[in-house]
């Protein structure tokens, strides 16, 4: 039996996580402990859905751990808590993987219908589904699995349709021919924020376009000479004196037999390049706009597969790169090149394959973002959403300020179909209809053909908070909307968080969450970004099996602050493992001491240590609560760590070996397990199962956060004085020559008299004795009536140590006196600070006197 209540001491000295974790998780899950209690104020967190067919990476672990800490804590605080898990169909990501599979089979997407592809990918994902859910369980995520939502679940699809229709009806959806970001490798378009811009070196070529009479020429500058084949004009600034006479005339487009006009447009910067710009409306967003303004028409010369089309035969079917070389060579041959300049400019790349993004003209569905962004801006400025870290608030507002319309269309079968149909006889007539499984429908006697594109996955993900809580259908979980805190990665602030706020406001009239906590990336041990190609990826499941789930949790949370990319640290995971072992052994000690038949009684503090530990634990639990409210996870975990290790193990447990109080000991263990549970759920629950004072079936996960105990403040402070004294003895004896144990003699000191045995134990002394006339070294720092019994010779050898201490004290005294002599300080600093300085100055003065006195004794 794992959870034997027989003598704990028979269990291994070392906590072995792998032996208990799966059983403990099963205990939680089968007991229904992850379900909301239905009582108390609702508290909800939604898990950002990990890829359904992938494995968890260490970033996911951080996410799950932070969320689970909050969920477990608020559950213990008595809130009606739910942690809703999710799984992502990961439209584009999964599609890329699947298309690779297809390629291996020598097939392509064009061999199948949308339905066929969809069901193939479904099966492909289904085979590998569940892995990540098991991994989340291994991390201890206390998620309500019954409420898991897959991003292609019916309710997600239906809500996406409904929202689309709502936006359509409000005139916020439009279909338009626009320049879109198109990856010719993946054959789909992207939203602006999905494009990765990289600064690249390039050449700016100057090309002469001759006037029709061949007498004059106009020189344009371009980085993409191949697109000249699709030029429909040359533009100049209307105020540019150099070209004024040419505006309205036509020039001969070299290489192709075509005349194009010279137009004037304010967009053109006369200072840049030659002041004349070739206009290719089909392949450049600015040119597209200029083309619209001047009715220039569009000539597409790069096809959606990335090959040249509509060009002279020698260029047909070439890639743009190949075409560029040929075009340049041809221009050179015709002596039309007028030089080249090295420049650096930003080039858009596909974030997945790195191909250069081609701006191409395509009919796509867009959302007008301005009204949505403005409403979101207003809500945020009103303070409806709190950002942690706060700097991200500014980032989101800036994003809203410069937002572009959102291209919703993706040419990927693995996604939610866009529910729109086009009149077969009137291409401008589009209607909304969700019968997307039919290629054609009849409405009012007219025939409509369906849109083949699917939604950008972020369109449905952006509605996640109200979908998962069934808010629109006022389901059972509707009370959990808005979500209390949206915890996610800072890297998807714009893609996800910003859009959830906009869509949440639009559809539900309120912000989808009250607080946002953003975590940074987990970098490798040396602060480098993890990537498969670098081979520096840390597998969280390996860490779990090597160190235990709790250890990974503690290690990930330590030394990490909101929004910062921070390195993974194995040494911190090791520290976490050691912490679990510490808890384990505290439990072994306490349970051994109390025996199997112990039944818990209300704790009554008796000794000074009892009062002190009661105060320590009360403070710690209050501190942790506040730190978690501020999302200061690392500090909260650190508080738990030090409370357990230092206060409980090093001081209280040690003290209890001489002054024991069974009820207090039981209460201390009990409290500390509760306190540590959100951070290290497995080991604390494992120990909980061995506690003899709870009935079989009691689960820590469902217990309350520890209540403060009553204690006497004066007694607690007395214990601190004792600690001070013990520390001094330890310090002084460590400086003395030889390794033998020493004896302390005290004179009139009731604190020492009452705790002699305890002091002897904690300071590793031979004896602590009352003496009429003590001799040896006065223990000057703690200022007690106590002496370390050492002979004259040892005392003499110790003299230099005392001198060092004296000089340190004098140094400190100078600092304090300097401060007090400063009139401005006295006048302007807060009174209590001045008071504290005075008090310390007095204490230092007394210490100096005692030390000087000691030195005089040695000298005599």
Q: Which of residues 714-753 bind RNA (CB under 7 A)?
A: 727, 730-731, 734-735, 739
Restricted to residues 228-287, the positions that interact with RNA (CB under 7 A) are: 267-275, 277-278, 284-286
Closer residue to RNA (CB): 570 or 710: 570
Mutual angle of helices 154-169 and 499-508, in 10-degree steps: 70
Q: How far is the CB of 561 from RNA (least distance, A)?
A: 4
310 binds RNA (CB under 7 A): no
What is the per-residue DSSP string for 8-35? Answer: GGGS-SS--HHHHHHHHHHHHHHTTTTS
* Closer residue to RNA in complex, CB, 450/742: 742
Query: Least distance (Å) from RNA to the CB of residue 460?
Result: 20
Question: What secondary structure letter does DSSP report for 538?
Answer: -
Asked if omega into 225 is within 30° of 0 (cis), the reply is no
Please name which of 59, 57, 49 lies closest in space to residue 143, comparing C-alpha atoms. 49
Q: How far is the CB of 108 from RNA (least distance, A)?
A: 31
Of residues 629 through 668, those in contact with RNA by CB under 7 A are: 630, 632, 634-635, 638, 641-642, 645, 649-650, 653-654, 657
To RNA, the closest distance from the beta carbon of 539 in angstroms equals 19
Q: Give the contact letters, 480-519, x = binds to RNA (CB under 7 A), - = no.
A: -----------x--x-------------------------
Question: How far from each other are the two terminal CA atoms of the chain, in whole angstroms?
Answer: 69
CB 563 within 8 A of CB 389: yes
* DSSP calls for 135-164: HHHHTT----GGG-EETTSHHHHHHHHHHH
* 290 closest CA partner among 352, 235, 209: 235
CB of 795 to RNA, least distance (A): 18
Compose the 833-852 pattern: x for residues touching RNA by CB under 7 A, - for all others. Answer: x--x---x------------
Asked if 345 interacts with RNA (CB under 7 A), we say yes
Neighbours of 254 (CB within 10 A): 20
Q: For residues 56 and 132, is the Cβ–Cβ distance under 8 A?
A: yes
Q: Smallest distance, Å, CB 817 to RNA?
A: 12
Specify the residue, 89 or 278, whose C-beta has the smaller distance to RNA: 278
Side-chain half-sphere CA neighbours of 725 within 13 A: 29
In whole angstroms, how close is the CB of 357 to RNA at the nearest point? Answer: 10
Q: Is residue 447 near RNA by the rule CB under 7 A?
A: no
Residues that contact RNA, how many (by CB under 7 A): 103
Nearer to RNA, 109 or 362 (CB): 362
Contact flags string 456-475 toward RNA, x per CB under 7 A = --------------------
Minimum CB–partner distance for residue 810 and RNA (Å): 13
User: With contact defined as beta carbons under 8 Å apart, do 671 and 590 qualify?
Assistant: no
Q: Which is nearer to RNA, 435 or 534 (CB)?
A: 534
Long-range contacts of 439-447 (CB under 8 A, 24+ apart): 447/423
> Residue 392 contacts by C-beta under 8 Å, 6 or more apart in sequence?
490, 493, 516, 518, 563
Residues 6+ apart with CB under 8 A from 381: 397
In the complex, least distance from residue 844 CB atom to RNA, rounded to whole angstroms = 8
Q: Which of 10, 13, 201, 382 binds RNA (CB under 7 A)?
A: 13
Q: 247 in helix, strand or coil?
A: coil
- Centroid of chain to Cα 187: 32
Neighbours of 397 (CB within 10 A): 16
Closer residue to RNA, CB minimum distance, 22 or 78: 22
What CA–CA distance (Å, rounded) separates 107 from 99? Answer: 9
Residue closer to RNA, measured from CB, 203 or 446: 203
Q: How many residues does the chain have?
A: 860
* Beta pairing partners, 778: 787
Whichever of 510 and 561 has its CB closer to RNA, that residue is: 561
Residues 830, 831, 856, 859: which binds RNA (CB under 7 A)? 830
- The least CB distance from residue 509 to RNA, in Å, is 28
Reduce the DSSP state of residue 643 to 3 states and report it.
Answer: helix
Smaller CB separation from RNA, 446 or 810: 810
Angle, CA 104 vertex, CA 102 and CA 109 arms, to 5°: 20
Site string for RNA, 788-817 (x = CB under 7 A): ------------------------x--xx-
Nearer to RNA, 35 or 819 (CB): 819
Compute the least distance from the CB of residue 186 to RNA, in Å.
Answer: 18
Which residue is it, tokens 């305890």? Answer: 758
Residues 154-213 that bind RNA (CB under 7 A): 192-193, 195-199, 204
* Cβ atoms 746, 693 nearer than 8 A: no
Nearer to RNA, 452 or 635 (CB): 635
Distance in Å, CB of 534 to RNA, minimum: 12
Question: Of 56 and 844, which CB lies nearer to RNA in the complex structure?
Answer: 844
Listed in order, strand segments (DSSP E) in 51-130 are 80-84, 86-87
Q: Which is nearer to RNA, 514 or 658 (CB)?
A: 658
Binds RNA (CB under 7 A): choice among 222, 358, 460, 690: 222
Taking residues 582 to 621 in sequence order and writing x for each that binds RNA by CB under 7 A, - otherwise, the string is x--xx-xx--x-----------------------------
Closest distance to RNA from the beta carbon of 69 (Å): 16
Identity of the residue, 125 or 522, whose beta carbon is nearer to RNA in the bound complex:
522
Which C-beta is closer to RNA: that of 566 or that of 755? Answer: 566
In angstroms, give the least distance from the CB of 375 to RNA: 20
Is the Cβ–Cβ distance between 590 and 654 less than 8 Å?
A: no
CA 632 to chain centre: 13
Site for RNA in 520-579 (CB under 7 A): 523, 525-527, 529, 558-561, 564-567, 569, 571-572, 574-575, 577-578
Query: Of 160 and 587, which has the nearer Cβ to RNA?
Result: 587
The interface with RNA within residues 37-76 (CB under 7 A) comprises none
By CB under 7 A, what part of segment 354-413 binds RNA?
389, 391, 394-395, 398-399, 402, 404
Identify the DSSP state of 498.
I
What is the C-alpha to C-alpha distance for residues 140 and 189, in angstroms, rounded to an integer? Answer: 39
Nearest approach in angstroms of CB 727 to RNA is 5
Residue 394 CB coordination number (10 Å)? 11
Coil, strand or helix at 801: helix
Q: Enter the tokens of residue 79.
A: 């809130």
Single residue of 58, 121, 156, 221 touching RNA by CB under 7 A: 221
For the bound state, the minimum distance from the C-beta of residue 559 to RNA, rounded and expressed in Å, comes to 3
C-alpha–C-alpha distance, residues 701 and 140, integer Å: 11
- 3-state SS class at 276: strand
Q: Which is nearer to RNA, 278 or 611 (CB)?
A: 278
Task: Tell me whether the omega of the peptide bond preceding residue 389 falls within 30 degrees of 0, making it cis.
Answer: yes
Question: Residue 62 CB, nearest distance to RNA (Å)?
Answer: 13
């Amino acid at each position: 039996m794992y959870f034997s209540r027989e003598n704990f001491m028979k269990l291994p000295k070392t906590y072995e996580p792998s032996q208990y974790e799966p059983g403990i998780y099963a205990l939680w899950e089968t007991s229904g402990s992850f379900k909301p209690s239905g009582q108390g104020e609702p508290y909800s967190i939604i898990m950002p859905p990990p890829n359904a067919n992938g494995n968890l990476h260490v970033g996911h672990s951080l996410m799950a751990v932070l969320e689970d800490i909050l969920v477990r804590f608020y559950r213990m605080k008595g809130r009606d808590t739910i942690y809703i898990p999710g799984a992502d169909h990961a439209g584009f990501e999964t599609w890329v993987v699947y298309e690779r599979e297809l390629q291996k089979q020598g097939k392509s997407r064009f061999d199948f219908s949308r339905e066929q592809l969809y069901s193939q990918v479904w099966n492909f994902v289904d085979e590998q589904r569940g892995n990540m859910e098991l991994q989340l369980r291994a991390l201890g995520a206390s998620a309500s699995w019954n409420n898991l939502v897959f991003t292609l679940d019916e309710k997600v699809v239906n809500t996406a349709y409904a929202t689309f229709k709502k936006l359509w009806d409000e005139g916020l959806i439009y279909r338009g021919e626009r320049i879109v970001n198109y990856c010719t490798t993946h054959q789909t378009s992207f939203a602006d924020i999905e494009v990765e811009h990289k600064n690249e070196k390039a050449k700016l070529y100057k090309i002469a376009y001759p006037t029709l009479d061949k007498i004059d020429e106009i020189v344009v500058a371009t980085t993409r000479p191949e697109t000249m084949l699709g030029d429909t004009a040359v533009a100049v600034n209307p105020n540019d004196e150099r070209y004024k006479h040419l505006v309205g005339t036509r020039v001969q487009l070299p290489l192709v037999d075509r005349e194009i006009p010279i137009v004037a447009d304010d967009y053109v910067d006369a200072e840049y390049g030659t002041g004349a710009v070739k206009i290719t409306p089909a392949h450049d967003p600015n040119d597209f706009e200029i083309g619209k303004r001047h009715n220039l028409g569009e000539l597409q010369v790069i096809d959606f597969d990335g090959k040249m089309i509509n060009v002279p035969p020698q260029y047909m079917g070439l890639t743009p790169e190949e075409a560029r070389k040929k075009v340049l060579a041809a221009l050179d041959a015709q002596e039309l090149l007028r030089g080249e300049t090295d420049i650096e400019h930003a080039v858009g790349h596909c974030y997945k394959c790195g191909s250069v993004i081609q701006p191409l003209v395509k009919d796509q569905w867009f959302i007008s973002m301005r009204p949505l962004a403005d409403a979101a801006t207003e809500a945020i400025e009103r303070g409806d959403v709190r950002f942690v870290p706060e700097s991200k608030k500014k980032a989101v507002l800036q994003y809203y300020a410069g937002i572009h319309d959102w291209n919703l269309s993706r040419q990927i079968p693995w996604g939610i179909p866009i529910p729109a149909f086009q009149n077969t006889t009137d291409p401008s007539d589009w209607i909304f209809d969700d019968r997307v499984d039919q290629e054609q429908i009849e409405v009012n006697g007219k025939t409509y053909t369906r849109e083949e594109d699917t939604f950008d996955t972020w369109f449905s993900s952006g509605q996640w908070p109200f979908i998962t809580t069934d808010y629109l259908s006022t389901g059972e979980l509707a009370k959990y909307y808005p979500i209390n805190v949206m915890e996610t990665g800072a890297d998807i602030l714009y893609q996800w968080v910003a859009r959830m706020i906009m869509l949440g406001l639009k559809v539900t009239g309120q912000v989808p969450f009250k607080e946002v906590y953003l975590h940074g990336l987990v970098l490798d041990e040396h602060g480098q970004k993890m990537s498969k190609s670098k081979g520096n990826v840390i597998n969280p499941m390996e860490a779990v099996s090597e160190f235990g789930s709790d250890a990974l949790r503690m290690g990930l949370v330590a030394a990490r602050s909101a929004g910062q990319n921070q390195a993974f640290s194995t040494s911190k995971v090791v520290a976490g493992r050691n912490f679990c072992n510490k808890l384990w052994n505290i439990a072994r000690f306490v349970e051994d001491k109390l025996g199997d038949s112990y039944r818990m009684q209300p704790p009554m503090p008796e000794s000074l240590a009892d009062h002190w530990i009661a105060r320590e634990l009360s403070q710690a639990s209050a501190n942790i609560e506040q730190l978690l409210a501020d999302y200061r996870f690392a500090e909260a975990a650190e508080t738990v760590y030090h409370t357990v290790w230092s206060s409980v193990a090093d001081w209280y447990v040690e003290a209890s070996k001489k002054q024991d109080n069974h009820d207090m000991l039981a209460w201390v263990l009990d409290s500390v397990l509760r306190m540590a549970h959100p951070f290290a759920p497995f080991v604390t629950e494992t120990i909980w199962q061995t506690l003899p004072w709870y009935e079989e079936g009691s689960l820590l996960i469902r217990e309350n956060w520890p209540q403060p105990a009553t204690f006497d403040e004066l007694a607690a402070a007395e214990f601190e004085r004792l600690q001070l004294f013990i520390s001094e003895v330890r310090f002084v004896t460590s400086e003395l020559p030889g390794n033998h144990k020493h004896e302390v003699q005290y004179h009139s000191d009731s604190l020492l008299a009452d705790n002699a045995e305890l002091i002897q134990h904690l300071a590793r002394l031979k004896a602590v004795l009352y003496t009429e006339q003590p001799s040896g070294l006065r223990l000057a720092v703690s200022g007690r009536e106590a002496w370390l019994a050492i002979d004259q010779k040892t005392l003499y050898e110790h003299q230099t140590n005392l001198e060092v201490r004296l000089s340190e004290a004098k140094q400190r005294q100078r600092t304090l006196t300097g401060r007090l002599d400063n009139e401005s300080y006295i006048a302007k600093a807060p009174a209590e600070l001045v008071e504290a300085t005075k008090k310390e100055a007095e204490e230092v003065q007394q210490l100096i006197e005692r030390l000087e006195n000691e030195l005089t004794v040695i000298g005599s």
